[in-house]
Structure 1
Amino acid sequence: MSDTLSPRLRERKKAETWAVIHEAAAKLAHQHGAGQATVEAIADSAGISPRTFFNYFQTKEDAILGLREPFLDPDLSSRLTADSGLLGQVSRLLVTVARTAIGDTDAARFRELMRQNPGLIRRQMEYMAKAEALVCQAVAALLERDPSWSGGVEGFDLNETARMVVLIAGVPARFSITSPNHDLSEGLATADLGPALSLLHHVQRKIS
Structure 2
Amino acid sequence: MTISDDVATGRRDRKKRQTRDALAAAALRLVAERGLDQVTVEEISEAADVSARTFFNYFSSKDDALLGDQAVDIARVLAALRAAPLEVPALDAVRLALAEIIDEMQADAPLWVLRMEVIERNPALLPRLVASSTETEQAMTDALATRLGLGPEHGYPALVTAVTGAAFRVAMMRWARSAGKLPLADLVDEAFSGIAAGLPDPRSAS
> What TM-score, normalized to structure 1?
0.70
1:24 alignment partner in structure 2: 26
> What TM-score, normalized to structure 2?
0.71
Which secondary structure state, in structure 1, belongs to the residue aligned with residue 76 of structure 2? Answer: coil
2:76 alignment partner in structure 1: 72
Once residues 65 and 114 of structure 2 are traced to their aligned partners in structure 1, the CA distance between those partners, rounded to angstroms, is 13
Which secondary structure state, in structure 2, belongs to the residue aligned with residue 185 of structure 1? Answer: coil
Once residues 16 and 175 of structure 2 are traced to their aligned partners in structure 1, the CA distance between those partners, rounded to angstroms, is 38
Choose 1 or 2 for highest CA Rg.
1
5+ residue gaps, structure 2, are: 202-206
Letter in 2 for 1:108: V
Letter in 2 for 1:27: R
Once residues 80 and 134 of structure 1 are traced to their aligned partners in structure 2, the CA distance between those partners, rounded to angstroms, is 19
**C-alpha deviations, 1:95-148, integer Å up to 9, x for none?**
44865996836232122212322222333344434443342232121122xxxx
5+ residue gaps, structure 1, are: 145-149
2:159 alignment partner in structure 1: 164
2:194 alignment partner in structure 1: 199
Once residues 7 and 31 of structure 1 are traced to their aligned partners in structure 2, the CA distance between those partners, rounded to angstroms, is 36
Letter in 1 for 2:91: L
- Offset of residue 52 of structure 1: 1.7
Once residues 175 and 12 of structure 2 are traced to their aligned partners in structure 1, the CA distance between those partners, rounded to angstroms, is 43
Q: Which runs of 4+ in 1 moved over 6 A?
A: 100-103
1:147 alignment partner in structure 2: none
The answer to whether the aligner puts 1:44 opposite 2:46 as a matched pair is: yes
Change (3 A) 1:133 1:43: same
Matches within 5 A, 1:57-206: 57-69=59-71, 70=73, 71-72=75-76, 74-81=79-86, 85-90=89-94, 92-93=95-96, 95-96=98-99, 99=102, 104=108, 106-144=111-149, 150=150, 152=151, 157-158=153-154, 161-177=156-172, 183=178, 185-186=180-181, 189-203=184-198
- Offset of residue 166 of structure 1: 1.3
Change (3 A) 1:45 1:204: closer
Instruction: Give the structure with the larger helix fraction.
Output: 2
Pairwise CA RMSD of aligned residues? 3.6
Once residues 103 and 134 of structure 2 are traced to their aligned partners in structure 1, the CA distance between those partners, rounded to angstroms, is 13
Once residues 7 and 72 of structure 1 are traced to their aligned partners in structure 2, the CA distance between those partners, rounded to angstroms, is 20
- Offset of residue 157 of structure 1: 2.0
| Length, aligned pairs only | 193
- Offset of residue 56 of structure 1: 0.4
Which secondary structure state, in structure 1, belongs to the residue aligned with residue 91 of structure 2? Answer: helix
Q: Is residue 113–residue 179 contact of structure 2 (8 Å, CA) maintained in 1?
A: yes
Change (3 A) 1:142 1:99: same
Q: Structure 1 vs Structure 2: percent identity of aligned residues?
A: 26
Once residues 30 and 59 of structure 2 are traced to their aligned partners in structure 1, the CA distance between those partners, rounded to angstroms, is 16
